[in-house]
Amino acid sequence: METGQLFTWEALGTMAGASLLVYFVVQYTKGLIDEIAPKLPTDLLAVVVAWIVLIMAQLAVDSSAVVDWRVYALALANAFLVAAAAGQMQNKALNPPGEKKGAGEQ
In a domain, 65, yes or no: yes
**DSSP conformation class of 6:** S
Structural domains counted in the chain: 1
In a domain, 27, yes or no: yes
End-to-end CA distance of the chain: 48
**DSSP conformation class of 95:** S
In a domain, 104, yes or no: no
In a domain, 32, yes or no: yes
Q: How far apart (Å, rounded) are the C-alpha atoms in residues 53 and 32?
A: 19
Helix (H, G, I), strand (E, B) or coil at 98: coil
In a domain, 21, yes or no: yes
pTM: 0.81
Residue 102: the pLDDT is 58
Residue 41: the pLDDT is 92
Q: Which domain holds residue 84?
A: 9-94
Residue 2: the pLDDT is 56
In a domain, 47, yes or no: yes
Block means of pLDDT (10 residues each) for the chain, length 106 residues? 68 86 94 92 95 92 84 94 93 83 56
